[in-house]
């Protein structure tokens, strides 16, 4: 019997699917998925920007809970289908980003937002463009989960950026680095003992730019990745570091010697000094006297 496109909707990727049903990279199905995620993110960002206060908080919570639920359902699906392995642990860059989205949606903080901008602003996009789940059928719950969770993460960071709620700062980059180093340190242990490939530290993701980079870099693969990450961060943070705080009022020109400064209380040429100025000004000196007389101060 021939396999039909709808026969594998609930099939776990660990069970394997016929190669002929894979949606593949940059196929019509893949491009449609990318277009749908771009439209979804645009709508979320525009609606979020138009809202304020409690409505924005509700949208953040909705996105955070959605992302967390999608990741939890993926983990549960692998576990209850009997296909759970160490490779399914939520240790990848985007898995950490999904946790940051969930935490930040409940309690906004600079730690999660620094990570989401430094790594989450481009990581989910790369994950969708070079999807390592492209070997699955397009009509599959795990395929949809993969695109939807990355699209929601991308929409979240764009929403808080475009709305002006978050302004990236190079001074907060170290917080993202701390989270990243902690996740990579744990991933190195798991990669070593269970032969996994978290953060693609052992092997570049097939079909992504990491694959040719690894072939060209050879033993310098990790140092080259660090250099590329530094370049990405330079591009991300340079526009914010060069942005001015805002316009300043122009300085008034200094009055010329002997010229009268016009005042709003009267026309030019008249004595428009305030009472305080009159009290503080010395009286005219009588001819022939050496000291100025003192005027009584009026209250």
Q: What is the pLDDT of residues 164-208, one digit of tens each?
A: 999 999 999 999 999 999 999 999 999 999 999 999 999 999 999
More confident residue, 89 or 275: 89
Q: Does residue 246 surpass a pLDDT of 50?
A: no
Q: Does residue 272 surpass a pLDDT of 60?
A: no
pTM for the whole thing? 0.80
The answer to whether the beta carbons of residues 114 and 96 sit under 8 Å apart is: no
Average pLDDT over the chain, rounded to an integer: 86
Mean pLDDT of the 77-106 span: 96
Q: Does residue 288 surpass a pLDDT of 80?
A: no
Using the Cα atoms of residue 68, residue 74, residue 154 and residue 183 in order, give the sign of their dihedral: positive
182's tokens: 């902690």
| pLDDT per residue as tens digits for the range 142-162 | 999 999 999 999 999 999 999
- The confidence score (pLDDT) of residue 257 equals 53
Helix H or strand E encompassing 264 = none
| Whole-number Å distance between alpha carbons of 191 and 186 | 9
Q: With bands split at pLDDT 50, 70 and 90, how would you rate the model's confidence at 209?
A: very high
Contacts of 63 (CB under 8 A, 6+ apart): 44, 101, 105, 152, 155, 156, 159
| Whole-number Å distance between alpha carbons of 45 and 240 | 20
- Range scoring the smallest mean pLDDT among 107-121, 204-218, 219-233, 244-258: 244-258
Beta-bridge partner residues of 128: none
| pLDDT per residue as tens digits for the range 23-46 | 999 999 999 999 999 999 999 999
Q: Does residue 271 surpass a pLDDT of 50?
A: no
SS3 assignment, position 286:
coil
- The confidence score (pLDDT) of residue 270 equals 45
What is the distance of C-alpha 203 from the center of its chain?
27
- The confidence score (pLDDT) of residue 282 equals 52
- The confidence score (pLDDT) of residue 269 equals 44
């Amino acid at each position: 019997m021939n396999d039909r496109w709808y026969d594998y909707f609930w099939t776990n990727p660990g069970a394997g699917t016929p190669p002929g049903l894979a949606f593949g990279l940059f196929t019509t199905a893949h491009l449609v998925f990318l277009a749908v995620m771009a439209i979804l993110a645009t709508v979320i960002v525009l609606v979020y920007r138009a809202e304020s206060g409690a409505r924005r908080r509700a949208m953040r919570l909705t996105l955070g809970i959605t992302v967390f639920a999608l990741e939890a359902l993926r983990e549960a699906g692998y576990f209850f289908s009997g296909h759970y392995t160490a490779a399914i642990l939520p240790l990848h860059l985007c898995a950490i980003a999904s946790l940051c989205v969930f935490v930040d949606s409940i309690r906004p903080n600079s730690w999660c937002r620094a990570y989401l901008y430094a790594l989450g602003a481009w990581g989910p996009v790369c994950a969708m463009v070079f999807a390592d789940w492209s070997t699955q059928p397009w009509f599959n719950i795990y395929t949809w989960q993969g695109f939807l969770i990355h699209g929601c993460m991308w929409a979240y960071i764009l929403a808080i950026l475009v709305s002006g709620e978050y302004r990236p700062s190079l001074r907060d980059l170290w917080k993202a680095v701390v989270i990243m180093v902690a996740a990579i340190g744990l991933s190195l242990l798991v990669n070593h003992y269970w032969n996994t490939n978290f953060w693609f530290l052992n092997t570049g993701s097939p079909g992504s730019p990491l694959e040719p980079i690894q072939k060209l870099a050879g033993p310098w693969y990790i140092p080259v990745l660090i250099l590329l990450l530094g370049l990405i961060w330079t591009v991300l943070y340079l526009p914010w570091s060069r942005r001015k705080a805002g316009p300043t009022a122009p300085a008034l020109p200094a009055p010329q010697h002997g010229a009268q400064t016009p005042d709003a209380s009267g026309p030019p040429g008249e004595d428009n000094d305030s009472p305080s100025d009159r009290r503080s000004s010395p009286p005219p000196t009588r001819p022939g006297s050496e000291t100025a007389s003192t005027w009584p101060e009026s209250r």
